[in-house]
Amino acid sequence: MELARVATDLGNINISRDIIETLIQLILQNVDGIIFLKRSALRKRRKFATSKSDGKQKRIDGTKEIRVDIKQDYIIINLFLVIRYGIRIPDLTWEVQAKIKEGLKEETGLNIDQINVHIREIRFSKKYYHGGELITPEAFLKIF
């Protein structure tokens, strides 16, 4: 198990990847415009693949929305988000990055090196559907 380490005067504090992922999920619940699959539903859908890295078998989770990569000197977070239509993507991603960086620093003392935000999908409300077909919003057509 990979652990993030925070050094203190009294010793080291080790924080597991699962704890970091859970804290990120809690932080993102307060960000307007992000839609998540429930974690329990996500676990049911998981499909694991294996990959050899440095001669070791490694499980890769292809459906997880939060990926935390803990290295000896740095931590990289990759978020794969589903967002609601109508949200300005740059503003949302900047807010997500700032809240996660501040929240994890406050809760754990960890310094995060990178927070990469990947927009996986945009969900439209029911008002953009008619007879099961997606109706392109007029404002979108004016832009393009």
CATH number where 68 lies: 3.30.70.1350
Rounded Cα distance between 109 and 89, Å, is 28
Q: What is the pLDDT of residue 8?
A: 82
* Residue 55 binned pLDDT confidence (cut-offs 50, 70, 90): low
Q: What is the pLDDT of residue 21?
A: 93
Question: Residue 117: which domain range?
Answer: 3-143
- For the stretch 83-130, pLDDT in tens is 988 899 999 999 999 999 999 999 999 999 999 999 988 887 766 666
pTM for this one?
0.69
What's the chain's Rg over C-alpha atoms? Answer: 18
Q: What's the total number of domains in the chain? A: 1
**CA-based nearest residue to 3, from 94, 83, 69, 91:** 69
